[in-house]
Amino acid sequence: MSEAFRILSQRLIESFKPEDCSSMISLVDSMPIMTCRGRNRTGKVALEITSKGYCSTKNQYYYGIKLHALGFQRKGAIPFPESIFFTTAAENDLSVFKQVWGEKLGHRTVFGDKIYADTQYFNQAKTKSQKLEMLTPVKAVKGQAECITQFNKAASELFSAAVSKVRQPIEAFFNRLNELTNIQRAHKVRSTRGLLIHAVGKIAIAFIYLIF
């Protein structure tokens, strides 16, 4: 059943892509799907595919999985997902991006949050034939002299605000997804299969809402 939902979701993404999707700009982010939450809680279900993670947006520890989404930018609208991927909660977002999308994207500018900052990796990707660029809010440099930090502060804040404004719709996408399906709450799931059906089935439901 979960595999059927996965195939359905992929077909819906491929078949109903809006015409106003940008081919040059994408947005990337992730959201938690929680089987239980709390710093001292221990997960007891779907242990094959879940782990402990931390959601900085909610300032919360949880057990579960993580939904990663890469979306086409759309002016004045929430992004349309180009690709959706699930991992355990402990997986690092930057590592997932490199493994899943890093070598496949070409001639593209991607906007993400600070976790996706890797100057060396993306400088190489930008100069290679694939021309991949990642823009994120400015991340503090460890060990940087305070005078240099203060000197660059105004420019860094302006740049970070501009990037955050562009990537805000991907957060709206996750909020809308959760409003339609309550996908983040998987507390009643009792098995690995149940969690897979919950996660992928909710994605399919969201697209059915979108279509009809």
Tokens 């879940």 belong to which residue?
50
Does residue 211 sit within a domain?
no
Look-up of token digits 């977002």? 93
Query: Using one digit for the tens of pLDDT, what is the confidence trace for 64-115?
Result: 999 999 999 998 899 998 888 899 999 999 999 999 898 888 889 999 999 9
Q: How confident is the model at residue 3 (pLDDT cuts 50, 70, 90)?
A: low
Residue range of the domain that includes 41: 2-206
Q: What average pLDDT does the structure give for the chain?
A: 87
Instruction: Give the number of domains in the chain.
Output: 1
- The answer to whether residue 53 sits within a structural domain is yes
- Within-domain flag for 212: no
The reported pLDDT for the residue numbered 56 is 85
At 15-64, the pLDDT tens digits run 778 889 998 999 999 999 999 988 767 778 889 999 999 988 888 899 99
pLDDT band at 153 (very low <50, low <70, confident <90, very high): confident
- Prediction pTM value: 0.87
**Per the domain annotation, does 84 fall within a domain?**
yes
Given a contact cutoff of 8 angstroms between Cβ atoms, the answer to whether 192 and 35 are in contact is no
CATH number at residue 50: 3.30.420
The string of DSSP codes covering 94-136 is HHHHIIIIITT--SEEEE--GGG--HHHHHHHHHSTT-EEEE-
Q: Which residues, at least 6 apart from 61, have a Cβ–Cβ distance to it below 8 Å?
A: 37, 38, 39, 41, 52, 53, 54, 55
Q: Is residue 107 part of a domain?
A: yes
Q: For residues 93 and 97, what is the distance between their CA atoms, to the nearest angstrom? A: 6
Provide the 3-class DSSP secondary structure of residue 196.
helix
Phi, psi of 181 (to 5 degrees): -125, -15
Q: Is residue 105 part of a domain?
A: yes
What pLDDT was estimated at residue 95? 95
Q: Per-residue pLDDT tens for 190-205? A: 999 999 989 988 888 8
**11 or 172, which is more confident?**
172
Instruction: With a cut of 70, say whether residue 212 has pLDDT above it.
Output: no
* Residue-level pLDDT at 149: 74
pLDDT at 4 over 60: no
